[in-house]
Amino acid sequence: MKKIYLMLLLLVFALPNVFGQLQFGVKGGIVSSSSTLDEQISITDAVRNQNPDIDYEQLKMKAKDAKVGFQAGVFGRLSLAALYVQPELMFTSTSSRIQVSEIYQDNNVDSTYSTIKNQEFKRIDIPIMVGWKFGPARIQAGPVGTIVLDQKSALEAAGDYKEEFNGATWGYQVGVGLDLLNTLTIDAKYEGSLSKLGDQVKLGDQAYDIDNRPNQFIVTVGLFF
């Protein structure tokens, strides 16, 4: 995957004078982000013995509604007749809502204490889109690499838990686009994850595996230089 990603990037910057037209531009827009997180952890006696503050039986984490963020950056496009390759370098600020529930058991009766907190990220996204043009309209798909610059865990905001995040992840984008007057470009894309953004929750000294993957819808407007 990384080799293919690098080859596409080199293709864009190495071949324009030989095979096609290279353009550059700036773009920005809105991002609607959510998470796939849906996990329930059973707390062991060993964890409770080491951490007296943990008196619940289970910890449940579930993604709720999406929130709107923003994206801005630069892009290049190498056009080879109707085919094009478009790498982008985008700063993205996103957030989503996570419900964190502590489940207690008393005389075989469960009671639940829940809070809903924001999960926030600031990141650099580097998609490389490969597409086909039909007049002013376009279809496109490609890989996206993400570098996390800063994050705020919904778990840490909700209680005495710690979520472990990966510093870099891989995903994919698919979408459509429209070019107007050789100056304006509009894109609508869906982004899904190929790797975990969050993969562990720590309760005291005990780490539990989880699967927290972001996904998002992106709408941007760009201008060619």
Domains and CATH numbers, the chain: 2-37+66-96+118-199+211-224 (2.40.160.20)
169, two tokens: 């992840």
Provide the residue-wise pLDDT of the chain in tens; the chain has 225 residues: 555 555 555 555 555 554 558 889 999 999 998 887 777 877 777 777 777 677 777 778 888 877 889 999 999 999 888 899 999 999 999 888 888 888 887 766 677 877 887 778 888 999 999 999 999 999 999 999 988 888 777 666 555 666 666 677 889 999 999 999 889 999 999 998 887 776 667 666 677 777 777 788 999 999 998
Q: Provide the whole-model pTM.
A: 0.77
Burial class (CB in 10 A: 0-12, 13-18, 19+), 54: buried
CA distances to 46, 50, 125, 219 from 30, rounded to whole Å, are 45, 45, 14, 6
Helix (H, G, I), strand (E, B) or coil at 84: strand
